[in-house]
Structure 1
Amino acid sequence: MDGSDDKRLDDTLIALRRILRATELYERELAQAAGLTPAKLRVLQILSGRKEGNATPTAMANQMGVRQATVTALVDQLENRGMVRRERSSTDRRQTHVVIAPAGVEALRSAPSALQQHFVANYQKLEAWEQQMILSVLNRVALMLNAADIEAAPVLTIGDIRQDRGRG
């Protein structure tokens, strides 16, 4: 590798680090402002965005692209903090619905704008070919990092979204 190759490699690694760092900083800001992790915030957002005001854990898992066990762990943690509650379905007693509680609504209100909301707003301004290029490059980077088979939700967070890590 010559000097320009070294510089390009360093610039690429710096760009990756900036993405990771932005995610870390957002998590810290969210934890301080609302006492939540990005994954828990996403659960509250899903519930508040539903016309009926509730969702089954299965529906949330499908929407988030994670296993139901992951959503169950997140809901358990939110329920322990009084931000959501579980209710039996009135039409099918075997089903449980998760409902956002007033404390969850307040946490949503006090939360800073989600990092992925900034990304989505800017991403949607791009032409379709630019969006496809970004997707292709990021998928290639995931392959290069041996991360292509790691379960991941469309939530910009560091680590396993089921883990509380002491931050809410």
Structure 2
Amino acid sequence: MKKDEELLVALRKIIRAIDIRSRQLSKEVGLTGPQLLILQKVGKQKGVMVREIADDINLSSATVTSVLDRMEARNLVERIRSTEDKRKVGVFLTQEGEKALETAPLPFQEHFTNSFNSMEEWEQSQMVATLQRIATMMGAQDVDASPVLEIGSIIEK
């Protein structure tokens, strides 16, 4: 097999593993990866603003707002306008959101992160540079993406 084919096979394996885990998470707890990340952020920081969530998980505010709309419809979170500054809206977990967060498994990337952190710093840097280069080669450098290992639309239809 040629080198480019070997690389594409490795990428397909990564995508497939992410897809399998995403479906498992959705089936087990009814959450997408980004929803789980948002629940975790809101659970740690009551009243967090959308912009802070977006910055923390590396998604646009518009994307986070769309995900929050669906989460609010499912009664997982609620948005409450500040009484001091009407322009500010904080995000809070509901009781349902707290239950979902308690029962949710660790995100798929937890195992990956532990393995990655056990590598030497030079090897980590090399891996990051290589994958950033691949993303650029695929024209994906400007794609809105969170550090969640999940594929498909993050906005449920």
Letter in 1 for 2:27: Q
CA shift, 1:150, in A, is 1.5
CA-to-aligned-CA distance 1:48-81 (integer Å, 9 cap, x gap): 122xx22111111111222111111011100000
Q: Does 1:30 align with 2:25?
A: yes
* Structure 1 partner of 2:16: 21
* Structure 1 partner of 2:111: 118
Unaligned runs of 5+ in 1: 1-5
Letter in 2 for 1:59: E
CA shift, 1:107, in A, is 1.3
Moved more, 148-157 or 20-29: 148-157
Letter in 2 for 1:16: L
Report the Cα distance in structure 2 between the residues aligned to 1:117 and 1:25, rounded to whole angstroms: 15
3-state secondary structure, aligned to 1:154: coil
* Structure 2 partner of 1:83: 76
CA shift, 1:87, in A, is 0.9
Q: Give every structure 1 segment of 4 or more consecutive aligned residues whose post-TM-superposition deviation is greater than 4 Å.
A: none
What is the aligned-residue identity percentage? Answer: 36
Unaligned runs of 5+ in 2: none
Report the Cα distance in structure 2 between the residues aligned to 1:101 and 1:11, rounded to whole angstroms: 47
3-state secondary structure, aligned to 2:55: helix
Q: State how many pairs are aligned.
A: 157
CA-to-aligned-CA distance 1:28-64 (integer Å, 9 cap, x gap): 11111110110111100111122xx221111111112
Report the Cα distance in structure 2 between the residues aligned to 1:144 and 1:68, rounded to whole angstroms: 27
Contact 1:24 1:157 in 2 (8 A): yes
Report the Cα distance in structure 2 between the residues aligned to 1:62 and 1:19, rounded to whole angstroms: 25
3-state secondary structure, aligned to 1:97: strand
* Structure 1 partner of 2:130: 137
Contact 1:47 1:54 in 2 (8 A): yes
CA shift, 1:120, in A, is 1.4
CA shift, 1:22, in A, is 1.1
Letter in 2 for 1:164: E
* Structure 2 partner of 1:71: 64
Letter in 2 for 1:118: H
What is the TM-score of this pair, normalised by structure 1?
Answer: 0.86
Choose which of 51, 60, 69 in structure 2 pairs with 1:58: 51
